[in-house]
Chain A
Amino acid sequence: MPEATSVTPDGLSREDARNAAREYRSRRWRAFLFVVPLLAFIGFSFVAPIASMLYRGVYNPTVASLVPETLEKLPSWQGEERPSDEILSTFALDLKRLANDRTSGQLAEEVNRALPGSSSVIKSSARKLRRVDDSELANNGAAILIDANAKWAEPEIWQALKKTGQVYTAGYYLTALDLENDPDGGIQRRETQIYVKLYGKTLRMALIITILTVILGYPLAYFMANSSSGTANLLMVFVLLPFWTSLLVRTTAWIALLQTNGVVNSTLLALGLTDAPLEMLYTQFSTIIAMTHILLPFMILPLYSVMRGIDPSYMRAAMSMGSPPIPAFLRIYLPMSLPGLSAGALLVFIISVGYYITPALVGGTDGQMISNIIAFHMQQSNNWELAAALGSLLLFLILALYWLYDRFVGAGNIKLG
């Protein structure tokens, strides 16, 4: 409302302008108060966790806080041969303190991720150093350390320590992309390719699920949009029925159907279509079929609401102008239903890329998706930093896909109702 504050030639006196501005401000303030609870909730439950996840993916203070004095001196080390005696002695003192604080295990775990096998080296050395006098360690720490384990004379374990000692590191993101730092400071591919392949599989499965929901959902939505409201409402209940059933119940129902002695296999066997039961559960197949079932309403609802708004006269007009039904559908109806189709496809795709519970229950090893690995790193391997990096990459991936979509289809085309 710029005209409220500036005096127009034929209008507002200063007092009028002031009153109008005050009214405008109070209206803005009232509007703001309405959304404050939501903003606070989103900030607390959504923005903050994601920000901390992004941060966690690069921030790793554990080692730095465990052996601060060693890390202070390590930068002077060139990295080719074993570090100087002074550094070794300092580390020996640090390690003894950790041993007495019973935190040497944490150090061992962290360093072991960078250099497998170093966990036992650190733990056994720590045990031996626990009883050595401080002054002796200060004078002759290097020899005692090498005496405790010969690995301390080699540069590899020190390189690993230096790497894990960085408070800010891109290492987890590199790992999440199946890359690693080579000793020269460059970036190289890791020997085992896990995560990129898994991302690829996740995207492929999400794509298949999206296509399946389109194939199943589009004709149904079309039928519903063009039938009487009574029929449409009845069908809508059937569409929404899965929404009102617990996700867990629906997924376990698929277990009952698909397992080796399940309904599908016994039917196939009884009909003589197969001789031996098919392995359907704990495969990609079962994950895709169960997720298609669960995500179908997300496709149908936006499609239906958009199709409901398309007057039948458009198709009639096209036919009256001489177009047979199928070309008329492709040229007229399909483009008009595109906003619903793209909204549904985007919803289903994004939800299925990050889906966890269904692949976890019916996916087995074959049907695992990226979110299952993220959960694994959070719950079992206790590598939260890697989980955060994988999760952040997933977020970036979805944002990139959205950007691509916006670029080629236009986000303004999305219509949910």
Chain B
Amino acid sequence: MVNVMAKNMDAHKQQAGKSQPFLVFDNVKKTYDQKNLVVKGFDMQVEEGEFITLLGPSGSGKTTVLMMLAGFESVTSGDIAIKGQSINRIAPYRRNIGMVFQNYALFPHMTVAENLAYPLSVRKVAKAEIDSRVVASLKLVELDGFGGRYPGQLSGGQRQRVALARSMIFEPTLILMDEPLGALDKKLREQMQYEISRLHEQLGVTVIYVTHDQSEALSMSNRIAVFNDGVVQQCAPPAELYERPSNAFVAEFIGENNFIDGHVQSISGDQAKVVTPGGETVVAMAGQGLTENSGCRVSVRPEKLFIHPTSHDHDNEVTAAFITRIYVGDFIRYYFRLANGSEIIVKVLNDLSAPEFSEGQDGRLMWLTSDCIAFPV
């Protein structure tokens, strides 16, 4: 990942025609009130055809980045370039960037076909070609025959499809999606995630996607940029983000995670020996910036923890008091308390091996070194 970035940076410096990245954010900053930066030096390189997700809690600056890219917000400092050309001073309507909004922004006084034809008629495309492209576009999103309806007569999912089709019909260089599935219910959301992925693959278009929903980000993206407080915490493919978070924020934000406070005894290679509050010693992967003889937090995912007795491999073991267990269906969630009072959650598959505990009873939790990371405090 770091290598890829470095390569891209080199390419950027060379400004070599074809090898330069498709979209470059170069130290982009934004302030609204002339005092506080909402986006603090955003750098990113996007290859053509990539599906990039900007993920972060609300107020983390991800939507601001999108708005600057679309041209609806000015860039305070830094540069945004598409194909080596700065777009900072290009008006939004000349950027040729398609956009899907959370509320779809379908024009209520126009039919679906008129909505789809709008970007083409603005570009003075011939009437016959508009008609054929509208038909093709409706077919693409599986809404054949819906052209004569008004947006108000469509369901949420159908509106979403029309909005997608409209953002793509004029063959934009880039498509931006601002929490496009936020207004849909869970089942429809999953369906539309699949739909968006399909369209992305089929058309090979570059997509910048903003969301605060991590499952959406993980299932659709080539790469995810995790935002917090105006800074990108980590930009990596989904699996890397989940398996090897680069800091505690990412570890906590992506998926569910347990944190065990501890003290670093020694570091050898990429592994660290950590003493837990209960006096037990565990070995964890050393996170960036970890130093010996200092506090740390060891993160381990609930599904990587096993309760003794177990047939799974394990390197580490701690003892914790059982609190309660919650039946979820396919999983059972066990709640334990460590010696220092912090809670630990264990996710166990709902099969015959799911153990029984009485309250306060001690259980032994075990896991692999490669499944836990020690982050500096």
Chain A residues with CB under 8 Å of chain B are 311, 313-314, 316-325, 327-328, 331-332, 335-336
Other-chain contact of B166, A313, A321, A323 (Cβ < 8 Å): A321
Are B108 and A322 in touch, CB under 8 angstroms? Answer: no
Which of A318, A319, A335 has most chain B Cβ within 10 Å? A319
Report B89-111 CB contacts with A as 1/0, cut-off 8 Å: 00111111111011101011100
- Minimal Cβ-Cβ distance residue in B for A316: B72
Q: Does B65 contact A (CB under 8 A)?
A: no
- The stretch from B10-18, B47-55, B117-125, B289-297 touching chain A is B117-125
Q: Return A230 CB to nearest CB of chain B, in Å.
A: 14
- In the bound complex, residues from chain A placing their C-beta under 8 Å from that of B108 are 336
- In the bound complex, residues from chain B placing their C-beta under 8 Å from that of A321 are 93, 98, 118-119, 122, 166, 170
Within 8 A of A (CB), among B57-107: 70-72, 91-99, 101-103, 105, 107
Are B119 and A316 in touch, CB under 8 angstroms? Answer: no
Q: Return B249 CB to nearest CB of chain A, in Å.
A: 30
- In the bound complex, residues from chain B placing their C-beta under 8 Å from that of A313 are 101-103, 105
Are A322 and B123 in touch, CB under 8 angstroms? Answer: yes
| 21 CB < 8 A contacts A-B | A311-B105, A313-B102, A313-B103, A316-B72, A317-B101, A318-B107, A319-B91, A319-B92, A320-B93, A320-B98, A321-B93, A321-B98, A321-B119, A321-B122, A321-B170, A322-B93, A322-B119, A322-B122, A335-B109, A336-B107, A336-B108
- Minimal Cβ-Cβ distance residue in B for A338: B109
Q: Return B95 CB to nearest CB of chain A, in Å.
A: 8
Q: Return B113 CB to nearest CB of chain A, in Å.
A: 15
- In the bound complex, residues from chain B placing their C-beta under 8 Å from that of A322 are 93-94, 96, 119, 122-123, 170
- In the bound complex, residues from chain A placing their C-beta under 8 Å from that of B105 are 311, 313-314, 316-317
The interface size of chain B toward A, counting residues with CB under 8 Å, comes to 27
Q: How far is the CA of A253 from the CA of B70 in the complex (A)?
A: 50
Q: How far is the CA of A325 from the CA of B92 in the complex (A)?
A: 10
Q: Is the interface of A mostly helix, strand, loop or mixed?
A: helix
Are B122 and A320 in touch, CB under 8 angstroms? Answer: no
Q: Return B137 CB to nearest CB of chain A, in Å.
A: 13
Q: Return B150 CB to nearest CB of chain A, in Å.
A: 13
- Minimal Cβ-Cβ distance residue in B for A328: B93
Are B107 and A314 in touch, CB under 8 angstroms? Answer: yes
Q: Given A321-B170, A324-B93 in contact, is the A316-B122 Cβ separation under 8 Å?
A: no
- In the bound complex, residues from chain A placing their C-beta under 8 Å from that of B93 are 319-325, 328
- In the bound complex, residues from chain B placing their C-beta under 8 Å from that of A323 are 93, 118-119, 122
- Minimal Cβ-Cβ distance residue in A for B106: A317
Q: Given A323-B93, A324-B93, A336-B109 in contact, is the A318-B118 Cβ separation under 8 Å?
A: yes
Q: Return A320 CB to nearest CB of chain B, in Å.
A: 4
Which of B71, B96, B109 has most chain A Cβ within 10 Å? B109
Q: How far is the CA of A317 from the CA of B105 in the complex (A)?
A: 6
- Minimal Cβ-Cβ distance residue in B for A325: B93
- In the bound complex, residues from chain A placing their C-beta under 8 Å from that of B71 are 319
Are B103 and A311 in touch, CB under 8 angstroms? Answer: yes
Within 8 A of A (CB), among B118-140: 118-119, 122-123
- In the bound complex, residues from chain B placing their C-beta under 8 Å from that of A316 are 70, 72, 92, 99, 101, 105
Q: How far is the CA of A73 from the CA of B163 in the complex (A)?
A: 83
- Minimal Cβ-Cβ distance residue in A for B97: A320
Are A320 and B107 in touch, CB under 8 angstroms? Answer: no
Question: Besides the contacts A313-B103, A322-B119, A325-B93, what 4 more A-B pairs have beta carbons closer than 8 Å?
Answer: A322-B93, A322-B94, A322-B123, A328-B93
- Minimal Cβ-Cβ distance residue in B for A334: B109
Q: Return A226 CB to nearest CB of chain B, in Å.
A: 13
Q: How far is the CA of A327 from the CA of B121 in the complex (A)?
A: 12
Are A320 and B70 in touch, CB under 8 angstroms? Answer: yes
Lowest 4 A-B CB distances belong to which pairs?
A321-B119, A317-B105, A320-B99, A313-B105
Q: How far is the CA of A316 from the CA of B163 in the complex (A)?
A: 13
Q: How far is the CA of A316 from the CA of B95 in the complex (A)?
A: 13
- In the bound complex, residues from chain B placing their C-beta under 8 Å from that of A331 are 118
Are A317 and B109 in touch, CB under 8 angstroms? Answer: no
- In the bound complex, residues from chain B placing their C-beta under 8 Å from that of A324 are 91, 93
